[in-house]
Amino acid sequence: MNFWENPFIETAASYSVVVLCGVVCLAIFEIVTSYENWEEIKNGNLSVAMATGGKIFGIANIFRFSIMHNDSLLLMMAWGFSGFILMLTGYYIFEFLTPSFRIDNEIKQDNRAVGFISLVISVGLSFVIGANIG
């Protein structure tokens, strides 16, 4: 058996790559939101925690599907990041569909209803996106 075909090595490699990609994706989300995720969470803002948790779950779920359907780390990363771009697009669509208020402002002000809907949208989109990963 080839070293790289060992299931433990494959798992460690996928895990490492997904953690790194997840950190990059979260950093991008940190840039596009008008609040500082980790500072708000540290201060007890449950809405930001829910929205961020949904993003973390969504990113992980997209990469889960990507791992399942791709044999190489490079393809897994490419499909995972493509899925992330779609999830990010969904974030902007959510903002566009609520013209009467700004999503980021509501989440920063700890509007838990908006935080929860943001969580559900991220999770839901991740399943739709993941189902289409090739």
Q: What is the pLDDT along the chain (134 residues), one digit of tens a residue?
A: 677 678 898 889 999 999 999 999 999 999 999 999 999 999 999 999 999 999 999 999 999 999 999 888 899 999 999 999 999 999 899 989 888 999 999 999 999 999 999 999 999 999 999 999 86
| Total number of domains in the chain | 1
The rounded distance, in Å, linking the Cα atoms of 21 and 101 is 31
Distances (CA, A) of 15 to 34, 49, 85: 30, 23, 20
- pTM, whole model, 2 decimals? 0.90
